[in-house]
Amino acid sequence: MTYYQLSTLCFILIIINDGLYALNNGLALTPPMGWLAWQRFRCTIDCNTFPDECVSEQLFKTTADLLVSEGYAQVGYEYVIIDDCWLEPNRTVEGKLQADKKRFPNGIKALADYVHSKELKFGIYENVGSKTCEGYPGIEGHEEVDANTFAEWGVDYVKLDGCYIDEHRMDIGFPQFGKYLNKTGRPIVYSCCWPFYQEGKGMKVNYKLVAENCNLWRNYGDIQESYSSLMGVVDVFAAKQDYWAQFAGPGHWNDPDMLLIGNFALSYEQCKTQMALWAVLTAPLMMSNKLSTVRPEFKSILQNKEIINVNQDKLGIQGRRIYLDQGIDIWAKPIEPIDEEYYSYALAFVNRRTMGTPFVYEISLKNLGLTNPKGYIIMNLYTKDDTVKHILKPSSQIKVLTNPSGVVFLKANVVTKYHFTKFEYTMDNDTFLFK
Ligand SMILES: *[C@@H]1O[C@H](CO)[C@@H](O)[C@H](O)[C@H]1NC(C)=O
Ligand SMILES: *[C@@H]1O[C@H](CO)[C@@H](O)[C@H](O)[C@H]1NC(C)=O
Protein backbone atom coordinates (compact mmCIF):
# COMPACT_ATOMS: atom_id res chain seq x y z
CA MET A 1 0.00 0.00 0.00
CA THR A 2 1.45 3.35 -0.99
CA TYR A 3 0.31 6.74 0.18
CA TYR A 4 1.57 10.12 -0.92
CA GLN A 5 1.15 13.34 0.98
CA LEU A 6 -1.34 14.90 -1.40
CA SER A 7 -1.38 18.32 0.20
CA THR A 8 2.38 18.64 -0.17
CA LEU A 9 2.28 17.48 -3.77
CA CYS A 10 -0.40 19.99 -4.64
CA PHE A 11 1.57 22.83 -3.18
CA ILE A 12 4.51 21.94 -5.39
CA LEU A 13 2.26 21.59 -8.41
CA ILE A 14 0.67 24.99 -7.96
CA ILE A 15 4.04 26.67 -8.07
CA ILE A 16 5.05 24.80 -11.20
CA ASN A 17 1.65 25.29 -12.81
CA ASP A 18 2.17 29.01 -12.85
CA GLY A 19 2.64 29.18 -16.62
CA LEU A 20 6.36 28.63 -16.26
CA TYR A 21 6.58 26.16 -19.13
CA ALA A 22 3.55 27.23 -21.12
CA LEU A 23 3.45 27.65 -24.85
CA ASN A 24 2.20 31.20 -24.85
CA ASN A 25 -0.44 31.10 -27.60
CA GLY A 26 -3.40 31.45 -25.26
CA LEU A 27 -4.93 28.16 -26.45
CA ALA A 28 -5.94 24.90 -24.77
CA LEU A 29 -6.22 26.50 -21.34
CA THR A 30 -8.26 23.43 -20.48
CA PRO A 31 -7.64 20.04 -22.15
CA PRO A 32 -8.87 20.21 -25.76
CA MET A 33 -12.00 18.19 -26.58
CA GLY A 34 -13.12 16.81 -29.89
CA TRP A 35 -12.92 13.92 -32.29
CA LEU A 36 -9.89 12.41 -34.01
CA ALA A 37 -10.15 9.86 -36.81
CA TRP A 38 -7.23 7.54 -36.11
CA GLN A 39 -8.19 4.87 -33.58
CA ARG A 40 -11.50 3.96 -35.22
CA PHE A 41 -10.81 4.68 -38.89
CA ARG A 42 -7.03 4.31 -39.26
CA CYS A 43 -5.81 4.44 -42.86
CA THR A 44 -9.02 3.22 -44.48
CA ILE A 45 -8.76 4.50 -48.03
CA ASP A 46 -10.97 1.92 -49.76
CA CYS A 47 -14.16 3.90 -50.15
CA ASN A 48 -15.78 1.19 -52.29
CA THR A 49 -15.77 -1.37 -49.49
CA PHE A 50 -16.19 1.19 -46.68
CA PRO A 51 -18.15 4.08 -48.18
CA ASP A 52 -18.98 5.69 -44.84
CA GLU A 53 -15.79 4.71 -43.00
CA CYS A 54 -13.01 5.70 -45.38
CA VAL A 55 -10.85 8.75 -44.63
CA SER A 56 -12.78 11.23 -46.75
CA GLU A 57 -14.53 14.55 -46.82
CA GLN A 58 -17.78 12.70 -46.18
CA LEU A 59 -16.55 11.13 -42.94
CA PHE A 60 -15.53 14.48 -41.46
CA LYS A 61 -18.64 16.32 -42.63
CA THR A 62 -20.88 13.61 -41.18
CA THR A 63 -18.91 13.71 -37.95
CA ALA A 64 -19.29 17.49 -37.72
CA ASP A 65 -23.04 17.14 -38.32
CA LEU A 66 -23.40 14.49 -35.62
CA LEU A 67 -21.26 16.31 -33.07
CA VAL A 68 -23.86 19.05 -33.22
CA SER A 69 -27.09 17.09 -33.71
CA GLU A 70 -26.26 14.44 -31.08
CA GLY A 71 -25.37 17.00 -28.40
CA TYR A 72 -21.60 16.44 -28.20
CA ALA A 73 -20.74 19.98 -29.27
CA GLN A 74 -22.98 21.36 -26.56
CA VAL A 75 -20.97 19.66 -23.80
CA GLY A 76 -17.62 20.79 -25.21
CA TYR A 77 -16.41 18.46 -28.01
CA GLU A 78 -15.36 21.06 -30.57
CA TYR A 79 -12.40 19.89 -32.70
CA VAL A 80 -12.93 17.67 -35.76
CA ILE A 81 -9.47 16.33 -36.59
CA ILE A 82 -8.18 14.43 -39.60
CA ASP A 83 -5.39 11.93 -38.97
CA ASP A 84 -3.04 10.28 -41.49
CA CYS A 85 -3.90 9.27 -45.09
CA TRP A 86 -5.61 12.47 -46.24
CA LEU A 87 -2.86 13.45 -48.69
CA GLU A 88 -2.08 12.97 -52.36
CA PRO A 89 1.20 11.07 -52.72
CA ASN A 90 2.77 14.16 -54.33
CA ARG A 91 2.87 17.88 -53.61
CA THR A 92 1.59 20.39 -56.19
CA VAL A 93 4.04 21.79 -58.75
CA GLU A 94 4.38 24.81 -56.43
CA GLY A 95 5.44 22.44 -53.65
CA LYS A 96 2.28 22.65 -51.59
CA LEU A 97 0.51 19.83 -49.82
CA GLN A 98 -2.72 18.67 -51.41
CA ALA A 99 -5.50 16.40 -50.24
CA ASP A 100 -6.37 13.17 -52.02
CA LYS A 101 -8.44 14.32 -54.95
CA LYS A 102 -10.92 11.44 -54.97
CA ARG A 103 -11.63 11.35 -51.26
CA PHE A 104 -11.51 15.12 -50.66
CA PRO A 105 -12.87 16.39 -54.01
CA ASN A 106 -13.42 19.93 -52.72
CA GLY A 107 -10.08 20.25 -50.94
CA ILE A 108 -9.30 20.96 -47.32
CA LYS A 109 -10.26 24.64 -47.26
CA ALA A 110 -13.85 23.77 -48.21
CA LEU A 111 -13.97 21.09 -45.52
CA ALA A 112 -12.61 23.49 -42.89
CA ASP A 113 -15.23 26.04 -43.95
CA TYR A 114 -17.93 23.41 -43.54
CA VAL A 115 -16.70 22.50 -40.05
CA HIS A 116 -16.57 26.19 -39.13
CA SER A 117 -20.11 26.68 -40.42
CA LYS A 118 -21.18 24.25 -37.68
CA GLU A 119 -19.37 26.47 -35.13
CA LEU A 120 -16.79 23.74 -34.64
CA LYS A 121 -13.03 23.83 -35.08
CA PHE A 122 -10.95 21.99 -37.61
CA GLY A 123 -7.75 20.01 -37.13
CA ILE A 124 -5.32 18.26 -39.44
CA TYR A 125 -2.41 15.81 -39.26
CA GLU A 126 1.15 15.96 -40.54
CA ASN A 127 4.53 14.54 -39.68
CA VAL A 128 7.78 16.22 -38.68
CA GLY A 129 9.90 13.83 -40.78
CA SER A 130 10.12 13.33 -44.52
CA LYS A 131 6.99 11.15 -44.71
CA THR A 132 3.91 10.55 -42.59
CA CYS A 133 3.78 7.24 -40.76
CA GLU A 134 1.68 5.80 -43.59
CA GLY A 135 4.11 7.08 -46.23
CA TYR A 136 2.49 10.31 -47.46
CA PRO A 137 4.54 13.51 -47.85
CA GLY A 138 5.89 14.87 -44.54
CA ILE A 139 6.77 18.47 -43.76
CA GLU A 140 10.56 18.11 -43.57
CA GLY A 141 12.13 20.73 -45.83
CA HIS A 142 8.72 22.42 -46.37
CA GLU A 143 7.99 23.58 -42.83
CA GLU A 144 7.23 27.22 -43.53
CA VAL A 145 5.12 26.69 -46.64
CA ASP A 146 3.13 23.94 -44.90
CA ALA A 147 2.44 26.07 -41.82
CA ASN A 148 1.25 28.84 -44.14
CA THR A 149 -0.91 26.41 -46.12
CA PHE A 150 -2.60 25.21 -42.94
CA ALA A 151 -3.30 28.78 -41.87
CA GLU A 152 -4.72 29.62 -45.33
CA TRP A 153 -7.01 26.62 -45.14
CA GLY A 154 -8.36 27.68 -41.75
CA VAL A 155 -6.77 24.95 -39.64
CA ASP A 156 -7.27 25.40 -35.87
CA TYR A 157 -5.31 22.38 -34.60
CA VAL A 158 -2.31 20.46 -35.91
CA LYS A 159 -1.28 17.00 -34.77
CA LEU A 160 2.35 16.54 -35.78
CA ASP A 161 3.59 12.96 -35.77
CA GLY A 162 7.18 11.71 -35.48
CA CYS A 163 7.89 9.07 -38.13
CA TYR A 164 10.84 9.10 -40.56
CA ILE A 165 13.16 11.29 -38.48
CA ASP A 166 15.99 10.67 -36.04
CA GLU A 167 14.55 11.12 -32.55
CA HIS A 168 17.40 13.46 -31.57
CA ARG A 169 16.39 15.90 -34.29
CA MET A 170 12.90 16.20 -32.85
CA ASP A 171 14.18 18.75 -30.31
CA ILE A 172 14.79 21.02 -33.31
CA GLY A 173 12.03 19.94 -35.70
CA PHE A 174 9.03 20.27 -33.38
CA PRO A 175 9.91 23.75 -32.02
CA GLN A 176 10.77 24.95 -35.53
CA PHE A 177 7.35 24.05 -36.94
CA GLY A 178 5.74 25.64 -33.87
CA LYS A 179 7.58 28.88 -34.68
CA TYR A 180 6.21 28.81 -38.22
CA LEU A 181 2.70 28.14 -36.96
CA ASN A 182 3.06 31.10 -34.64
CA LYS A 183 4.35 33.28 -37.49
CA THR A 184 1.16 32.69 -39.48
CA GLY A 185 -0.66 34.72 -36.84
CA ARG A 186 -3.51 32.19 -36.77
CA PRO A 187 -4.31 30.65 -33.37
CA ILE A 188 -3.53 26.95 -33.88
CA VAL A 189 -3.43 24.32 -31.13
CA TYR A 190 -0.19 22.39 -31.51
CA SER A 191 -0.21 18.69 -30.62
CA CYS A 192 3.19 16.98 -30.72
CA CYS A 193 3.94 13.24 -30.86
CA TRP A 194 7.42 14.05 -29.62
CA PRO A 195 8.06 12.50 -26.19
CA PHE A 196 6.31 9.32 -27.35
CA TYR A 197 9.08 8.50 -29.84
CA GLN A 198 11.92 9.62 -27.56
CA GLU A 199 10.54 7.68 -24.58
CA GLY A 200 10.23 4.70 -26.92
CA LYS A 201 13.95 4.92 -27.67
CA GLY A 202 14.76 5.21 -23.97
CA MET A 203 15.96 8.79 -24.38
CA LYS A 204 15.67 11.37 -21.63
CA VAL A 205 12.90 13.69 -22.83
CA ASN A 206 13.29 17.42 -22.34
CA TYR A 207 9.70 17.95 -21.15
CA LYS A 208 10.37 21.57 -20.29
CA LEU A 209 11.21 22.22 -23.94
CA VAL A 210 8.19 20.18 -25.06
CA ALA A 211 5.80 22.14 -22.84
CA GLU A 212 7.26 25.46 -24.00
CA ASN A 213 6.57 24.53 -27.61
CA CYS A 214 3.44 22.38 -27.67
CA ASN A 215 -0.06 22.63 -26.25
CA LEU A 216 -0.22 18.88 -25.81
CA TRP A 217 2.00 15.91 -26.47
CA ARG A 218 1.75 12.17 -26.63
CA ASN A 219 3.92 10.52 -23.96
CA TYR A 220 3.42 6.89 -24.85
CA GLY A 221 2.43 4.47 -27.64
CA ASP A 222 -0.87 4.48 -29.52
CA ILE A 223 -3.91 3.25 -27.64
CA GLN A 224 -5.43 0.15 -29.23
CA GLU A 225 -8.88 -1.41 -29.23
CA SER A 226 -8.69 -3.35 -25.95
CA TYR A 227 -9.02 -2.92 -22.22
CA SER A 228 -5.50 -4.25 -21.67
CA SER A 229 -4.09 -1.60 -24.01
CA LEU A 230 -6.07 1.07 -22.16
CA MET A 231 -4.86 -0.07 -18.74
CA GLY A 232 -1.33 -0.42 -20.10
CA VAL A 233 -1.34 3.29 -20.94
CA VAL A 234 -2.84 4.08 -17.55
CA ASP A 235 -0.18 2.08 -15.70
CA VAL A 236 2.60 3.92 -17.52
CA PHE A 237 1.03 7.25 -16.60
CA ALA A 238 0.85 6.09 -12.98
CA ALA A 239 4.44 4.87 -12.98
CA LYS A 240 5.70 8.18 -14.43
CA GLN A 241 3.32 10.49 -12.59
CA ASP A 242 5.87 11.97 -10.20
CA TYR A 243 7.78 13.28 -13.18
CA TRP A 244 5.17 13.85 -15.89
CA ALA A 245 2.36 15.45 -13.88
CA GLN A 246 4.33 18.63 -13.19
CA PHE A 247 4.39 19.51 -16.89
CA ALA A 248 0.60 19.51 -17.22
CA GLY A 249 -1.29 22.74 -16.75
CA PRO A 250 -3.34 25.35 -18.60
CA GLY A 251 -2.03 25.49 -22.18
CA HIS A 252 0.15 22.35 -21.96
CA TRP A 253 -1.02 18.78 -21.40
CA ASN A 254 0.22 15.21 -21.28
CA ASP A 255 -1.85 13.15 -23.73
CA PRO A 256 -2.60 9.45 -23.02
CA ASP A 257 -4.34 9.25 -26.45
CA MET A 258 -7.92 8.85 -27.63
CA LEU A 259 -11.10 7.69 -25.94
CA LEU A 260 -12.17 4.20 -27.05
CA ILE A 261 -15.71 4.73 -25.80
CA GLY A 262 -18.51 3.81 -28.20
CA ASN A 263 -16.54 1.30 -30.26
CA PHE A 264 -16.25 -2.48 -30.27
CA ALA A 265 -14.02 -3.73 -27.48
CA LEU A 266 -14.79 -2.01 -24.18
CA SER A 267 -17.68 -3.01 -21.94
CA TYR A 268 -19.93 -0.47 -20.25
CA GLU A 269 -17.92 -0.71 -17.01
CA GLN A 270 -14.64 -0.31 -18.87
CA CYS A 271 -15.88 2.75 -20.75
CA LYS A 272 -16.88 4.35 -17.46
CA THR A 273 -13.37 3.62 -16.20
CA GLN A 274 -11.68 5.26 -19.16
CA MET A 275 -13.83 8.40 -18.94
CA ALA A 276 -13.13 8.74 -15.20
CA LEU A 277 -9.40 8.21 -15.61
CA TRP A 278 -9.12 10.62 -18.55
CA ALA A 279 -10.84 13.22 -16.37
CA VAL A 280 -8.43 12.57 -13.50
CA LEU A 281 -5.43 12.70 -15.83
CA THR A 282 -6.55 16.07 -17.28
CA ALA A 283 -6.26 14.30 -20.62
CA PRO A 284 -7.41 15.77 -23.92
CA LEU A 285 -10.86 14.25 -24.54
CA MET A 286 -10.64 13.07 -28.14
CA MET A 287 -13.30 10.59 -29.15
CA SER A 288 -12.51 8.28 -32.05
CA ASN A 289 -15.74 6.52 -32.84
CA LYS A 290 -18.45 6.19 -35.43
CA LEU A 291 -20.88 8.71 -34.03
CA SER A 292 -23.88 7.36 -35.95
CA THR A 293 -23.59 4.00 -34.14
CA VAL A 294 -22.65 5.00 -30.58
CA ARG A 295 -25.17 3.35 -28.27
CA PRO A 296 -27.09 5.55 -25.80
CA GLU A 297 -25.35 4.22 -22.68
CA PHE A 298 -21.94 5.07 -24.16
CA LYS A 299 -23.13 8.45 -25.35
CA SER A 300 -24.26 9.26 -21.82
CA ILE A 301 -20.77 8.42 -20.52
CA LEU A 302 -19.17 10.68 -23.14
CA GLN A 303 -21.63 13.46 -22.37
CA ASN A 304 -21.52 13.25 -18.56
CA LYS A 305 -21.21 16.94 -17.79
CA GLU A 306 -20.03 16.49 -14.19
CA ILE A 307 -17.14 14.34 -15.38
CA ILE A 308 -16.30 16.71 -18.21
CA ASN A 309 -16.21 19.50 -15.63
CA VAL A 310 -13.62 17.57 -13.62
CA ASN A 311 -11.50 17.17 -16.75
CA GLN A 312 -11.95 20.85 -17.63
CA ASP A 313 -11.28 22.13 -14.10
CA LYS A 314 -9.58 25.52 -14.36
CA LEU A 315 -6.67 24.61 -12.08
CA GLY A 316 -5.53 22.01 -14.63
CA ILE A 317 -3.76 19.83 -12.06
CA GLN A 318 -3.07 16.31 -13.32
CA GLY A 319 -4.34 13.70 -10.87
CA ARG A 320 -2.35 10.80 -9.48
CA ARG A 321 -2.78 7.23 -8.40
CA ILE A 322 -2.52 7.42 -4.61
CA TYR A 323 -3.26 3.82 -3.58
CA LEU A 324 -2.94 0.33 -4.94
CA ASP A 325 -4.71 -1.79 -2.39
CA GLN A 326 -6.51 -5.16 -2.62
CA GLY A 327 -6.92 -4.78 -6.37
CA ILE A 328 -8.47 -1.34 -6.03
CA ASP A 329 -6.56 1.57 -7.56
CA ILE A 330 -7.47 4.95 -6.11
CA TRP A 331 -6.81 8.09 -8.12
CA ALA A 332 -7.13 11.65 -6.85
CA LYS A 333 -7.17 14.97 -8.68
CA PRO A 334 -7.28 18.31 -6.84
CA ILE A 335 -10.01 20.57 -8.25
CA GLU A 336 -11.93 23.70 -7.44
CA PRO A 337 -13.48 24.94 -5.20
CA ILE A 338 -10.68 25.66 -2.75
CA ASP A 339 -11.33 26.87 0.77
CA GLU A 340 -8.30 28.35 2.47
CA GLU A 341 -5.58 25.78 1.79
CA TYR A 342 -7.99 22.89 1.21
CA TYR A 343 -8.76 21.57 -2.24
CA SER A 344 -11.76 19.71 -3.47
CA TYR A 345 -10.98 16.34 -5.09
CA ALA A 346 -12.15 14.04 -7.82
CA LEU A 347 -11.61 10.46 -6.64
CA ALA A 348 -11.70 7.43 -8.90
CA PHE A 349 -11.86 3.93 -7.40
CA VAL A 350 -10.90 1.49 -10.16
CA ASN A 351 -11.50 -2.23 -9.66
CA ARG A 352 -8.58 -4.27 -11.09
CA ARG A 353 -9.72 -7.51 -9.47
CA THR A 354 -10.56 -10.49 -11.64
CA MET A 355 -13.02 -12.22 -9.33
CA GLY A 356 -16.57 -12.04 -10.63
CA THR A 357 -18.17 -10.26 -7.72
CA PRO A 358 -18.31 -6.56 -6.92
CA PHE A 359 -15.96 -5.51 -4.15
CA VAL A 360 -16.49 -3.17 -1.24
CA TYR A 361 -13.53 -1.02 -0.26
CA GLU A 362 -13.60 0.98 2.94
CA ILE A 363 -11.46 4.00 3.77
CA SER A 364 -11.63 7.23 5.76
CA LEU A 365 -11.57 10.62 4.05
CA LYS A 366 -8.46 11.47 6.05
CA ASN A 367 -6.61 8.53 4.53
CA LEU A 368 -7.55 9.80 1.08
CA GLY A 369 -5.81 13.08 1.92
CA LEU A 370 -9.09 14.89 2.62
CA THR A 371 -8.29 16.76 5.81
CA ASN A 372 -10.41 19.90 5.73
CA PRO A 373 -11.77 20.15 9.31
CA LYS A 374 -14.98 21.75 7.98
CA GLY A 375 -15.59 18.60 5.94
CA TYR A 376 -16.72 17.63 2.44
CA ILE A 377 -19.87 17.12 0.43
CA ILE A 378 -19.50 14.08 -1.79
CA MET A 379 -21.25 13.42 -5.08
CA ASN A 380 -21.21 10.22 -7.12
CA LEU A 381 -20.56 11.46 -10.65
CA TYR A 382 -22.11 8.52 -12.50
CA THR A 383 -25.21 7.88 -10.42
CA LYS A 384 -25.55 11.57 -9.49
CA ASP A 385 -26.79 10.57 -6.07
CA ASP A 386 -24.85 12.15 -3.30
CA THR A 387 -24.69 12.98 0.33
CA VAL A 388 -25.85 16.54 -0.12
CA LYS A 389 -27.78 16.33 3.08
CA HIS A 390 -24.61 15.38 4.88
CA ILE A 391 -21.20 16.81 5.47
CA LEU A 392 -18.55 14.16 5.82
CA LYS A 393 -15.64 14.87 8.12
CA PRO A 394 -12.04 13.72 7.66
CA SER A 395 -12.73 10.97 10.18
CA SER A 396 -15.79 9.72 8.25
CA GLN A 397 -15.52 6.31 6.65
CA ILE A 398 -16.78 5.65 3.15
CA LYS A 399 -17.49 2.31 1.53
CA VAL A 400 -17.09 2.12 -2.22
CA LEU A 401 -18.63 -0.75 -4.16
CA THR A 402 -17.01 -1.27 -7.56
CA ASN A 403 -17.71 -3.85 -10.27
CA PRO A 404 -14.84 -5.79 -11.87
CA SER A 405 -13.02 -3.54 -14.39
CA GLY A 406 -15.37 -0.74 -13.38
CA VAL A 407 -15.08 2.47 -11.43
CA VAL A 408 -16.83 4.58 -8.85
CA PHE A 409 -16.07 8.22 -9.51
CA LEU A 410 -16.65 10.70 -6.70
CA LYS A 411 -16.29 14.42 -6.31
CA ALA A 412 -15.59 15.66 -2.79
CA ASN A 413 -16.22 19.39 -2.51
CA VAL A 414 -14.73 21.27 0.40
CA VAL A 415 -17.30 22.75 2.70
CA THR A 416 -17.24 26.49 2.93
CA LYS A 417 -18.82 28.71 5.58
CA TYR A 418 -21.96 28.95 3.47
CA HIS A 419 -22.72 25.28 3.82
CA PHE A 420 -22.86 25.34 7.60
CA THR A 421 -26.41 26.60 7.71
CA LYS A 422 -27.75 24.17 5.14
CA PHE A 423 -26.34 20.77 5.93
CA GLU A 424 -26.09 18.43 8.83
CA TYR A 425 -22.90 16.80 9.99
CA THR A 426 -22.57 13.06 10.01
CA MET A 427 -21.82 11.28 13.22
CA ASP A 428 -18.23 10.19 13.62
CA ASN A 429 -19.16 6.56 13.21
CA ASP A 430 -21.44 6.93 10.18
CA THR A 431 -20.34 5.12 7.05
CA PHE A 432 -21.57 6.08 3.61
CA LEU A 433 -21.81 3.63 0.77
CA PHE A 434 -21.15 4.68 -2.83
CA LYS A 435 -21.76 2.34 -5.74
C1 LIG B 1 5.54 11.58 -56.94
O2 LIG B 1 6.53 11.52 -55.94
C3 LIG B 1 7.38 10.38 -56.03
C4 LIG B 1 8.32 10.45 -54.85
O5 LIG B 1 7.59 10.56 -53.67
C6 LIG B 1 8.13 10.41 -57.35
O7 LIG B 1 8.92 9.25 -57.47
C8 LIG B 1 7.13 10.48 -58.49
O9 LIG B 1 7.82 10.63 -59.70
C10 LIG B 1 6.17 11.62 -58.31
N11 LIG B 1 5.14 11.58 -59.31
C12 LIG B 1 4.73 12.66 -59.95
C13 LIG B 1 3.63 12.44 -60.93
O14 LIG B 1 5.22 13.75 -59.80
C1 LIG C 1 3.11 33.85 -30.96
O2 LIG C 1 4.01 33.85 -29.86
C3 LIG C 1 3.91 35.02 -29.04
C4 LIG C 1 5.02 34.94 -28.02
O5 LIG C 1 4.96 33.76 -27.26
C6 LIG C 1 2.53 35.07 -28.42
O7 LIG C 1 2.40 36.21 -27.63
C8 LIG C 1 1.49 35.07 -29.53
O9 LIG C 1 0.20 35.01 -28.95
C10 LIG C 1 1.68 33.89 -30.46
N11 LIG C 1 0.76 34.02 -31.57
C12 LIG C 1 0.10 32.99 -32.08
C13 LIG C 1 -0.81 33.29 -33.21
O14 LIG C 1 0.24 31.86 -31.69
Do 301 and 385 reside in the same domain of the chain? no
Nearest CA to ligand 1 atom 8: 90
Residues of the chain with confidence (pLDDT) below 70: 1-21, 386-388, 418-429
> Domain ends where: 311, 336, 367?
311
Do 86 and 212 reside in the same domain of the chain? yes
pLDDT for 420: 60
pLDDT for 389: 72
CA atoms of 143 and 184, how far apart (whole Å):
12
Do 285 and 396 reside in the same domain of the chain? no
Do 337 and 388 reside in the same domain of the chain? yes
Identify the CATH number of the domain in which residue 289 sits: 3.20.20.70
Q: Which residues pair with 398 in a beta bridge?
A: 363, 432
Identify the CATH number of the domain in which residue 412 sits: 2.60.40.1180
Do 238 and 368 reside in the same domain of the chain? no
Do 91 and 195 reside in the same domain of the chain? yes
pLDDT for 87: 98
Ligand nearest to the CA of 24: 2
CA atoms of 32 and 146, how far apart (whole Å):
23
173-204 confidence digits (pLDDT tens): 999 999 999 999 999 999 999 999 999 999 99
pLDDT for 3: 42
Ligand nearest to the CA of 130: 1
> Domain ends where: 311, 331, 348?
311
Do 291 and 365 reside in the same domain of the chain? no
Please indicate, yes or no, if residue 340 is contained in any of the structural domains.
yes
The residue to mutate among 88, 90, 131, 164, having the most atoms of ligand 1 within 8 angstroms of its beta carbon, is 90
Q: For residue 27, which atom of ligand 2 is closest to its CA?
A: 14
Number of domains the chain contains:
2
Please indicate, yes or no, if residue 336 is contained in any of the structural domains.
yes
CA atoms of 353 and 406, how far apart (whole Å):
10
Give residue 380's domain range.
320-434
52-70 confidence digits (pLDDT tens): 999 999 999 999 999 999 9
Q: For residue 186, which atom of ligand 2 is closest to its CA?
A: 13
